[in-house]
Structure 1
Amino acid sequence: MSKDIALPETAQRVAQLLHSLGHDQTVVMLPETGKTSAEAAAGLGCQVAEIAKSIVFRRLIDDAAVMVVASGINRVDENKVAALVGALGKADARFVKEKIGYAIGGVCPIGHLEKTVMLIDEDLLQYPHVWAAAGHPHAVFKLTPAQLKTMTGAPVADVALRA
């Protein structure tokens, strides 16, 4: 990972937002893509579970974006999420870009274009730090689960699919 690579425009926007929030961690660029949790973890040298991946759904009743920030090892249980926020549909790449403002693979949990319904996976709380996408498939930033809760204002919930 490198802090010396010039940040793409969307990652610059996230870096400025983080700075305005008083966040002390910089946006870092991965040499390889961080589109998947496994790729990001490999590039960062951390556990896959420490990747705070952003999964976006479309709420059917009002077409609102619903984002679940989940541990990289968890599959999101759509039924659990729907029970908390309402019936869900698939969010395609165009929907995500229009509502959230980032392309899939680099969806950041902050700085959305529209108000987003959000939930944070309770499993993220067990880690001292997690890594989230910073608006670009190669860009990430480090934060604590408490900082994630503060920055997003999102409630913590059981959203993982359990065997």
Structure 2
Amino acid sequence: MDNHPNVTAVRDALKAAGAENTEIVILDEAVSTAAAAAAALEIEVGQIANSLIFDADGEPLLVLTSGAHRVDTAKVAAELGVGKLRRATPEFVRQHTGQAIGGVAPLGHPKPVRTLVDVELERFPVVWAAGGVPRSVFATTYAELIRVTGGAPARVA
């Protein structure tokens, strides 16, 4: 699993962005929810940076939100001036990220995806994000997550 093409793409993107930590941790089992990831890592659910892809008038939008939150799509759509913001289909997610739902990383995609980063993640000295497949994660900081993704801080809940 450590050599999976998606894990390699994420690791390479972290290195290219000059991330302090480029280690991808492979968990014993797939973790498809923030609660499952937090339990596997023995951390607070809020420390999980969920990578959620939305269809924003046909364009992909990646929202990195605290695992303790649900994205308020109406609020985000209004702030971005988007007519319609809805959860993307699995096919839309794979088309724009090259990754499957449950393992979508904040980077390592075929081309850049517009990204928002939940300001609530700043409360934690360490946050964890998916590493390209449902069993992979990596540790980072809020500031570094913004830097390596080119994301914009946002209130998303």
**How much has 1:89 moved relative to structure 2?**
2.8
Q: d(CA) in 2 for partners of 1:46 and 1:73? A: 12
What TM-score comes out, normalization by structure 2 length? 0.92
Name the amino acid aligned to 1:7: N
Mapped pair 1:104 → 2:106:
no
**Percentage of pairs with the same residue:** 39
**How much has 1:81 moved relative to structure 2?**
1.0
The 1:135/1:6 distance shift into structure 2, 3 A limit, reads closer
Q: Report what 1:74 is aligned to.
A: 69
Q: Report what 1:89 is aligned to.
A: 86
Name the amino acid aligned to 1:14: V
Instruction: Summarize deviations over 1:65-121 as a string: whole Å, max 9, x none.
Output: 011100001011001110122121331000000012111000011122233221111
Name the amino acid aligned to 2:61: V
Instruction: Summarize deviations over 1:10-68 as a string: whole Å, max 9, x none.
Output: 112211221222323200001121211111111111111000001111011xx110111
Q: d(CA) in 1 for partners of 2:26 and 2:111? A: 26
Q: Report what 1:24 is aligned to.
A: 20
SS in 2 for 1:136: coil
Structure 2 gaps of 5+ residues are none
Q: d(CA) in 1 for partners of 2:79 and 2:114? A: 10
Contact 1:131 1:143 in 2 (8 A): yes
Q: Report what 1:12 is aligned to.
A: 8
The 1:117/1:20 distance shift into structure 2, 3 A limit, reads closer
How many residues align structurally?
154
Q: Report what 1:140 is aligned to.
A: 137
Q: d(CA) in 2 for partners of 1:111 and 1:44? A: 22
Residue among 94, 111, 116 paired with 1:114? 111
What TM-score comes out, normalization by structure 1 length? 0.89
Q: d(CA) in 2 for partners of 1:19 and 1:94? A: 28
